[in-house]
């Protein structure tokens, strides 16, 4: 953990900007999962709406040379919450997604024959492996996107 923190100290992005980025990635993953299962998680719309409704006023997008009114900064801080609260919320969302994926894979594997269970088990294991890899790359800040 300490080495991960030390490796991120040289990066120009602030901690809040990195938490914003993680929040967006987790929201994207929840949308992908909801699209696959046909239902939407109750936590994702509010979080992504909060992030999107900030209209680009996050710490990362605010120019260093211009000052913002204190009232505006306080409103933004109240809307986003403290860093510890946001990290705890993101962690709980990731854990909830992982639990739901396990339940889904268990339901799929119990619904058919041995051959079908093996195929679903391998596919579910591959999806979990890819999700864990994505989360690790997001935390490390080495996410490769098409943009």
pLDDT of residue 113: 53
Could you tell me which residues come within 8 angstroms of residue 138 by beta carbon, excluding any fewer than 6 positions away?
21, 22, 25
Rounded-to-integer distance, Cα 121 and Cα 106, Å = 8
Rg, the chain, Cα only: 18
48-85 pLDDT, tens per residue? 334 434 444 444 444 445 677 888 878 877 877 778 78
Cβ–Cβ under 8 Å, residues 135 and 105: no
Cβ–Cβ under 8 Å, residues 62 and 76: no
pLDDT of residue 132: 76
Q: What is the pTM of this model?
A: 0.39
- Neighbour-count burial of 27, counting CB atoms closer than 10 A to its CB (0-12 exposed, 13-18 middle, 19+ buried): buried
- Neighbour-count burial of 93, counting CB atoms closer than 10 A to its CB (0-12 exposed, 13-18 middle, 19+ buried): buried
CA 94, chain centre distance (Å): 7
Please identify every stretch of the chain with a pLDDT value under 50, giving residue numbers as ranges.
1-10, 39-64
Reported residue count of the chain is 147
pLDDT of residue 146: 59
């Amino acid at each position: 953990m300490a080495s991960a923190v030390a490796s991120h100290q040289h990066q120009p992005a602030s901690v809040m900007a990195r938490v914003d980025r993680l929040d967006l990635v987790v929201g994207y993953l929840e949308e992908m999962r909801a699209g696959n299962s046909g239902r939407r998680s109750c936590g994702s719309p509010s979080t992504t709406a909060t992030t999107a409704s900030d209209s680009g006023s996050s710490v990362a997008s605010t120019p260093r040379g211009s000052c913002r009114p204190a009232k505006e900064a306080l409103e933004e801080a109240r809307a986003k919450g403290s860093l510890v609260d946001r990290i705890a919320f993101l962690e709980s969302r990731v854990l909830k997604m992982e639990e739901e994926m396990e339940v889904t894979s268990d339901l799929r594997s119990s619904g058919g024959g041995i051959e079908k269970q093996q195929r679903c088990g391998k596919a579910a294991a591959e999806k979990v492996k890819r999700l864990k890899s994505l989360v690790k790359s997001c935390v490390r800040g080495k996410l490769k996107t098409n943009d």
